[in-house]
Chains A and B, each alone.
Chain A
Amino acid sequence: MSNFSFISDTEWRCGCCNKELQPSKVNVEYMGSVFNVELMACPACGFVLVPEKLALGKMLEVEQLLEDK
């Protein structure tokens, strides 16, 4: 998952800042492993979007892999 990009156009806008989400590099972490990934986030406040497909797809896969390590 390291250095992966999961950016894709989205209808979601930041409700706080009323901004369109932009690709943004963030560190995500699980079981002591840190990955730098590109996700859609609010350019003003940094609210990161994890879409359902990612949460139940690639992310779940990596989580389970790390749990079995």
Chain B
Amino acid sequence: MDQPQLRTLEATCIQEESPQCSAACPIHIDVRAFMGCLAKEDWRGARRVLDRTMPFADIVGRICDEPCRIACKRAEIGDPLAVGSLERFCVSTVPMVLKQPKLPAKGGSVAVIGSGLSAMTAALDLARKGRNVVMMTGDEEVGGSLRGYAEEILPARVLSGAVETLDSYGVNIQFGCSLNKEFFDIVRQDSDAVFFDRDCAGLAALSIDCTHPDPLTLAVGNDGCFAGGGTTENGFSIMKQVEDGRRASLSIERYLQKVSLTAQREREGSCQTRLHTVTIGIEPLKEVLPADPAAGFTKQEAAREASRCIQCECKECVKQCAFLQEFTDYPKRVARKIYNNQAIVQGTRTANKMINSCMLCGQCTVICPHDFPMAEVCRTTRENMVAKSTMPPSAHEFALQDMEFSLGEFSAMARHQPGLDSSRYLFYPGCQLAGSAPETVEQTYLHLTRHLDGGVGLMLGCCGIPAQWSGRQELFGQTMQTFQTEVRKLGDPLIITACSSCYAVFKEFAPELEVQSLWQILDKGELPEQKTAPPQQLLTIHDPCTVRHEPEIRASVRSILKKIGIATAEQPYSGELTDCCGYGGLMQFANVPLGEKASRAKGLRSDLDGLAYCAMCRDNLAASGRRIAHLLDYLFPAGGQEDPLLRPNPGFSGRHENRARLKQHLLTTLWQEEPTMPPEYKDIKLFIDAQVMVLMNKRHILEDDLQKVIFQAEQSGRRLIDPENGHFLASFKPVRVTYWVEYQPDKQGFVIHNAYSHRMILPGDVK
């Protein structure tokens, strides 16, 4: 990711844009923060928010005409927030908390003609910035039209307090000036810039036309004269006075600094915001009105009204994604962290874990109003990490070894249908289905051979998606190439995939091959005679994340379910919006606890028992405690299986062994071939109780690893012994990880008591 790419990404996520209220406010008061403080009864905090942006908060806070109120998001579902009354409550109960500092004097003298609110604001803003300001007015007091307010709304002492404030910043106020042409000529000569407040009686006599200031800069002419405030066609608006005073002061600053008066001023004054806030599901609470309207809000009333603020933000993607929630961030910040992470040359790359924890599932992109491509960002970052050798080796190694095994001599095979030497079709069950339900794979295959003409070949292997997800481009490329060569050798049959990940991979990376999902084939063709009764209860369908953009596959699945009489209920986060089970992006390997959270979250989308048609979703949700079946369990039930909803998660070891057993079984029974002989250590028989098995799954240790350790220890005699209980402890490092096993010989094999591993290399590590 380079700087421009980061900028583009940052602009795509609008979470940091202003809420509607502060965008609509002509001086962009942080209304959301103001409400937040009031709601938690942090009165001083609320006042500080006003003091930061609002000039003469004691005055303006009492009479603000709240142009933000109609923009408030709550208006969509009921009453908008009572911003004005809350400001009034705040400034009349809490004295100033933050006095803005005065910057060092920097020359440039400005005349402010008039003493209404826009003149006051311009004078205050310019004096704060260190400008020399003289305020000249024909009046004897400040305030202009504000003096017309009733005492109980704007007490005279509060209004005249503005004189002290202006004094304290060094504004020289001259009351009782006679505003005429001579006066103006002198003023013009003595000052570098002039602001005319149109809320001032004598302006007409000054031989300058202030009626049509430029709307962006408020300039009248081009010699440093500016005008604003007063009554417009929309009447006399308090916030318009403040806005014009501020806009004029910013123009005068630019004028004095001799920089562009017009560049980049779109965000001054009321403006549009791109922030996207969803109000669906938010309770439309009624506005809290003060019990005594004349007295205004009590503290409790104010806090209650402010707590109706929904604290507008977007985070629509975060609300649904376990990964974004875990790292408590929204994509804009994630992108920034990724950028910073890859810029690190020396030091700890703290975002590695985060980058490897995205499920690359694309849900956020569908949800986001601007299609933020989080998955693509994380995946390409992983590619870069691999290329620069900064990818932590432990993150994906276990999954990649599993893939290697699926593609290796003990699990992979490709054959024409027994007795035939060509294939019109090729059934590709995928590594996870072969690992999860090998008997079902066999039954499905036999069904296809019986019902499709022209020969159905079989290929066991892995599509290579783990390599792609983990950023191993080279490995993925090789895998795809080998696959394509094999398919060509079989005469380019139409590939039938049972796994939607395989389907997605082949479609994207081998577009010249013909691919269809098993569900489409079964839906169009003949379904098996049913052997398992449909469940009594309604099931909810858990779509896998890889069919997010495959409506036809999703429809085929639903059509099959209907035909076989399984009643289902949809849940809101299915289809295009479906969650990943945690396997996506190899997240469950790089971040084991988060993987568990993600599968639990997917399972909890509905209270109903589930139905999956991705083997990995099925197994992960089963592991998370959901009762869930695979669609194939109902179509091609394995012998001896009772309720498909109760089929346990086979775990990593189970899947590993299942794949090997499937190949061996099919080769011997269907093709009458000699199986590949397993290595000698596979003869070691293990007894592992469920608890140790759970531990091994979490620790990514396979039975295969234990067999290697014990085989080696028993052969060499190199092992520790606990004389108390007769347990042995041995270790072995087959490749990069050292495995330790605590075991005890048994008549028929070995009882496993514990297993753990580390990657640190010991001096005597047996290789």
Q: Which residues of A contact B (CB under 8 A)?
A: 11-16, 21, 26-31, 45-50, 52, 55-56, 59-60, 62-65, 67-69
A27: B residues at CB distance < 8 A: 763
Closest 10 CB pairs of A and B: A67-B392, A12-B720, A15-B721, A55-B758, A15-B719, A11-B722, A29-B761, A52-B756, A28-B760, A30-B760
7 residue pairs bridging A and B, Cβ less than 8 Å apart: A16-B717, A31-B393, A50-B738, A55-B756, A65-B348, A67-B392, A68-B348
Chain B residues within 8 Å of A13, by CB: 720-723
Since A27-B763, A52-B754, A68-B349 are in contact, a sample of 19 more A-B pairs with Cβ atoms closer than 8 Å, ordered by chain A residue number, is A11-B722, A13-B720, A13-B722, A45-B718, A46-B763, A47-B764, A48-B764, A49-B720, A50-B738, A50-B740, A52-B740, A52-B756, A55-B758, A56-B758, A59-B760, A60-B758, A63-B758, A68-B350, A68-B352
Chain A contact residues: helix, strand, loop or mixed: mixed
- Total A-B residue pairs with C-beta atoms closer than 8 Å? 87
- The stretch of B74-82, B485-493, B514-522, B724-732 in contact with A is B724-732
Q: What 1/0 mask marks residues of chain B from 281 to 299 whose CB sits below 8 Å from any chain A CB?
A: 0000000000000000000
Asked whether B758 lies within 8 Å of A12 as measured between CB atoms, the reply is no
| A63 with B720: CB separation less than 8 A | no
Return the chain B residue nearest A45 by Cβ.
B718
B761 close to A28 (CB less than 8 A)? yes
A15→B763 CA distance, assembly (Å): 19
Q: Mark B719-762, 1 if CB is under 8 A from A, else 0.
A: 11111100011010000001010000000000000101111111
B394 lies within 8 A of chain A by Cβ: yes
Interface residues in B384-414 by Cβ distance below 8 A to A read 392-395
Contact call B392/A12, Cβ cutoff below 8 A: no
State the B residues within 8 Å of A (CB).
Answer: 347-350, 352-353, 392-395, 717-724, 728-729, 731, 738, 740, 754, 756-764
Cβ of B756 and Cβ of A68 under 8 Å apart?
no
Contacts of B731 in A (CB 8 A): 50
Point out the residue from B349, B717, B758 that lies within 8 Å of A50, measured CB to CB. B758
A7 to B352, CA, bound (A): 33
Q: Which of A16, A30, A48, A52 contacts B719 (CB 8 A)?
A: A16
Check if A15 sits within 8 Å of B760, measured CB to CB: no
What residue in chain B is nearest A46 (Cβ atoms)?
B764
Residue of B nearest to A30 (CB): B760
Q: With A15-B719, A16-B718, A65-B348 known to touch, is A26 a contact of B728 (CB < 8 Å)?
A: no
A29 in complex: contacting residue of B718, B723, B757, B760, CB < 8 Å:
B760
Contact partner of B763 (CB less than 8 A), chosen from A11, A48, A63, A69, is A48
Q: When A15-B719, A55-B756 are in contact, do A50 and B392 touch as well, CB less than 8 Å? A: no
Asked if residues B762 and A50 are in contact (CB atoms below 8 Å), the reply is yes
A29 to B675 Cα, complex, angstroms:
41
Q: Which residue of A lies closest to B351 (CB)?
A: A68
CB closest residue in chain B, given A42: B720
For A63, what are the chain B residues with a Cβ–Cβ distance below 8 Å? 394, 758-760
Least CB distance from B542 to A in Å reads 33
Q: Give the residues in chain A near B764, CB-CB below 8 Å.
A: 46-48
Determine which of B393, B720, B724, B758 lies in contact with A14 in the assembled complex, contact meaning CB atoms within 8 Å. B720
Quote the shortest CB–CB distance from A47 to chain B (angstroms).
Answer: 6
Known contacts A64-B394, A68-B352: does B717 contact A15 (CB below 8 Å)? yes
Chain A residues in 8 Å Cβ range of B722 = 11-13
Q: How far is the CA of A27 from the CA of B347 in the complex (A)?
A: 24
Write out the residue numbers on chain A whose beta carbons fall within 8 Å of the beta carbon of B720: 12-15, 21, 47, 49
Please name all residues of chain A whose beta carbon is closer than 8 Å to the beta carbon of B729 when the two chains form the complex: 12, 49
Q: How far is the CB of A44 from chain B (nearest CB, A)?
A: 12
Docked complex Cα distance between A65 and B348 (Å): 7
- Whole-angstrom distance between the alpha carbons of A66 and B579 in the complex? 33
Pair A11/B394 contact, Cβ less than 8 Å = no
Roughly how many angstroms separate A50 CA and B759 CA in the complex, as a whole number? 11
With a 10 A CB-CB cut-off, give which of B719, B728, B759 has the most chain A CB atoms.
Answer: B759
